[in-house]
Structure 1
Amino acid sequence: MTHSENVTPLKIADAARAIRHVFVRDLSLEAHIGVYAHEHGRTQPIRVNVDLTVSEAAHSDKLANVVCYETVVNEIKALVAAGHLNLVETLAEQIATQCLADPRVIVARIRVEKLAAIPEAASVGVEIERAK
């Protein structure tokens, strides 16, 4: 079973409420993260998933009128590159805060997984949901 098979898909997009679902799936990065001494001074693989509930507007086929997933990814990369974090919870909160800074984002669901922390597990981590 892959990690995706054990996660229930979200129904976020909603025509009646003019809601769009913007997402980033399985963003793989190397991060300086962890509380233990053996986790300091080196990177380890993480996977980030982002689900955003976004209020729709007429986008006129212009990138400036939508929540851009490339911008979301670049912001996550910048957070990861900023330096060592002890907890995946901290990174998840930082990502949620960054996403919610866009006035069009109503809800941010963030999952951060460490892929090599527990040898017997495919991944361990945290998923949070934050709303305005």
Structure 2
Amino acid sequence: MNFVDAISICFKKYVDFSGRARRAEYWYWTLFTVVVSICTSILDAVIFQNNMWSPLNAVFNIAILLPSIAVMVRRLHDTDRSGWWALISLIPIVGWIVLVIWMIGKGTDGPNRFGNDPLAGEQTAPAPVAAA
């Protein structure tokens, strides 16, 4: 999975809270949101020249709110945890650290109660040996 694939999957599954998300999908999405947030903040500062008002950044953050929650829930599903564990992020510092550790961790191998392993379909077959 590459950067563009991960972003398109997250937008396609805008409010899909079922299934599983690979680490690459989650972290590429996080990278995308951070980079675009920085860009919209810079644009707001240049265009509006007022640090108290950031309409471009606000619109972007509202637009990505649901897909960000959805990919977090699907990532938790990949680690065989309920999506309700996302609420642990409401606990300052400790909750964030626990959540980041879970997001970094490897998903469960094979199917779990939330669906099939997203990595299972990507295993490549060995290349055929050419006959001489």
TM range (shorter): under 0.3
Determine which structure has more spread, i.e. the larger CA radius of gyration. Answer: 2
Q: TM-score, normalised by structure 2?
A: 0.24
Which structure has more relative contact order (CA 8 Å, sep 6+)? It is: 2
Q: TM-score, normalised by structure 1?
A: 0.24
More helix by share: 2
More strand by share: 1
